Amino acid sequence: MKNHPLPKRFYARSALKVAPELLGKILCRERNGVVTAGRIVEVEAYLGSEDPASHAYRGKTPRNEVMFGPPGHAYVYFTYGTHFCVNVVTGREGEASAVLIRALEPIEGIGVMQRRRNRTKLEELASGPGKLTQALSIGRRLNGNALGQKPLWICDGRNHEPVEFETTARIGITRGVEWPYRFAVAGSRFVTSRSARSRPPGG
């Protein structure tokens, strides 16, 4: 298969454009010569300083400075004392917009992912932002890495057919909840579906 890494211009557009187009693309990771990869099935767009749910909303800090840099780089952060999450920086440099990768369909290196996750079911390997970073062994060291080559890159899927997707509200945030900036492959069993659904009181 000819999986070319996505060109930088792909990322240099609005996060709302990039996010749905990332669905169906392949996120690849090489570590110690071992490749693990998955098809992106769920993402969320974050719009930087205009978006109250974004880490960049209150300006640049040491933690989020990668988001203010050039597009096409990975923003990796640690949260809840346990998990890493990986974002793709989009838009123009200085704009701090990004797309959070929330779920993958495992494609390559499945045995390795199963060991790292201590799970065997494919649906439990990468169906969540913290799970997929564990499955692909993505950590703080990859923060700021360009996504055009090893050790972490995104390539085109096999074909260029548009992927059928659905649009919903974002998950796990407390501000900007009503904005429909989550995109997921329609009908995929590899998206986050269960437990992350605690309804707000009175909702």
Q: Is 48 in contact with 87 (CB distance < 8 Å)?
A: no
Q: 82, 159, 161, 178: which one contacts DNA (CB under 7 A)?
A: 82
**Smallest separation (angstroms) from DNA to the CB of 54:** 5
What residue has token string 């079911």?
Answer: 121
Q: Could you write out the DSSP letters of every residue in 103-169?
A: EEEEEE-HHHHHHHHT---GGGTSSSHHHHHHHTT--GGGTT-BTEETTEEEE--S--PPPPEEEE-
**Smallest separation (angstroms) from DNA to the CB of 172:** 2
**Smallest separation (angstroms) from DNA to the CB of 10:** 20
The contact pattern for DNA, residues 153-192, with x = CB under 7 A and - = no contact, is -----------------xxxxxx----------------x
Structure tokens at 89: 């920086």
Q: 100, 138, 184, 185: which one contacts DNA (CB under 7 A)?
A: 100
| 17 binds DNA per the rule CB under 7 A | no
**Smallest separation (angstroms) from DNA to the CB of 93:** 17
